[in-house]
């Protein structure tokens, strides 16, 4: 519930100031949130638990046409294809070793990605192409979002 409130607050506070395909960051409620918005106003959000407490984990969310998809909902089948060569299903948790390894691979790839394709239930639904400037400005922060496991 806290994550949903945090996500809504993040989106409302930032409003229409989102630059297209430009990583933006905001910290609140113990999370660092990294947001990428494309021209269709689809949003990819990496929420990194910096000090929100051990009961909260990192997460990936995708918002399209007022619908939200989260890595914690396995029925969603959210898959990110990064730079046309690495396909990753964001893990539901980062506390198990295999999921922690997947999370670390995902956040490292996202931090330097030039192109991110989003798939839901096996269908390509969106694409992001972060600007080089935003990749350079946010990469170190995203790299620091290590798994909790």
Tens-place pLDDT, residues 27-68: 777 678 899 999 999 999 998 876 655 666 778 899 999 999
- For the segment 67-73, the average pLDDT, to the nearest whole number, is 81
Helix (H) or strand (E) holding 12: helix 2-14
pLDDT tens sequence across 93-110: 888 888 889 989 999 999
Q: Which residues, 6 or more positions from 117, have their beta carbon under 8 angstroms from its beta carbon?
A: 80, 81, 82, 84, 124, 126, 127
* HEC-encoded secondary structure of 19-55: CECCCEEEEECCEEEEEEECCCCCEEEEEEECCCCCC
| The pLDDT of residue 55 | 63
* Alpha helices in 15-145, H assignment, sequence order: 97-112, 132-143
Neighbours of 128 (CB within 10 A): 26
> Average pLDDT, stretch 70-81?
79
């Amino acid at each position: 519930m806290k994550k949903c409130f945090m996500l809504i607050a993040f989106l409302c506070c930032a409003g229409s100031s989102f630059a297209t395909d430009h990583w933006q960051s905001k910290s609140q409620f113990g999370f660092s949130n990294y947001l990428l918005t494309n021209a269709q106003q689809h949003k990819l959000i990496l929420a990194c638990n910096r000090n929100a407490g051990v009961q909260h984990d990192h997460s990936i969310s995708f918002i399209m046409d007022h619908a939200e998809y989260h890595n914690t909902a396995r029925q969603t089948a959210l898959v990110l294809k990064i730079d046309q060569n690495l396909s990753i299903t964001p893990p539901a948790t980062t506390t198990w070793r295999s999921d922690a390894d997947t999370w670390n691979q995902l956040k490292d790839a996202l931090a330097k990605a030039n192109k991110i394709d989003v798939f839901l239930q096996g269908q390509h639904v969106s694409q992001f192409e972060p600007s080089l400037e935003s990749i350079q400005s946010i990469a170190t922060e995203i790299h620091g979002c290590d798994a909790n496991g």
